[in-house]
Amino acid sequence: MDAVTYPNDTVLAAVELGFVPYKINMLERHPDFKEACAGGRVMWGPTIVIADSRGSEVRRWVGWLPPHSFTAELAFCRALADHTHGKFAEALAGFDAIVEGDSGSEILPEALYWQGVAGFMAGQKDWGALRRSWTRLAEEHPGNRFGTHASVIEDAPD
Amino acid sequence: METIGWVEALADAKTRARDDGLLLLTYLFAPG
């Protein structure tokens, strides 16, 4: 992370736009160690946790990501946090931006999945929005886990 | 070259997150 991803200008700009960065080396004694690890077990590095100011976890993953995937993850986490806090219109705008601007990151299927959910919630049970995102997801990513999740849209009400 | 402005103390990071957004917590296993 420190060699490639974090020094990247695009990553730097994305972090500065709405994230407070903190890192801890698990192999060193640190006064914050207990508090930093209170949210869950850290089994391998790098582990990345995105959380809100209350410490509520938005997303956690293990493993290195290249700059373009990492910045896509940050955008996804922002939209997911909005969704978690009931800001469905903002969440939908965030997922829309990822889906429309995606340049090959691994997050696209999951972003499509949540685009459908946010559209459903923002539109007061808008089945059309859910159906559009999930149908595209199931058709374009049939071997992906989220494509499988979305395939139930075939049985959704009209 | 600019670098990320890591916050030294977790308590400070949480305080800043109230105004500046989400916490980005990175856990590394880096041999010293």
Among B23, B30, B31, the residue with its CB nearest the CB of A20 is B23
In this predicted structure, what is the pLDDT of residue A62? 96
Share of chain A above pLDDT 70, in %: 97
Where residue A104 falls (left for φ over 0; alpha for ψ -120 to 50; beta otherwise) is left
Count of structural domains within chain B? 1
Q: Which of A29, A31, A66, A74 is nearest to A49 (CA)?
A: A74
Shortest alpha-carbon distance between residue B20 and chain A (Å): 6
Count the helices and strands in chain A (H runs, E runs). Answer: 7, 3
Domains, chain A, ranges and CATH?
9-155 (1.25.40.10)
Shortest alpha-carbon distance between residue B27 and chain A (Å): 5
Whether A3 and B8 have beta carbons less than 8 Å apart is answered as no
User: Domain range holding B19?
Assistant: 1-32
Q: Is the pLDDT of residue A105 over 80?
A: no
Average pLDDT on A12-36 reads 90
In this predicted structure, what is the pLDDT of residue A104? 65
For A62-89, write each residue's pLDDT tens digit: 999 999 999 999 999 999 999 999 999 9
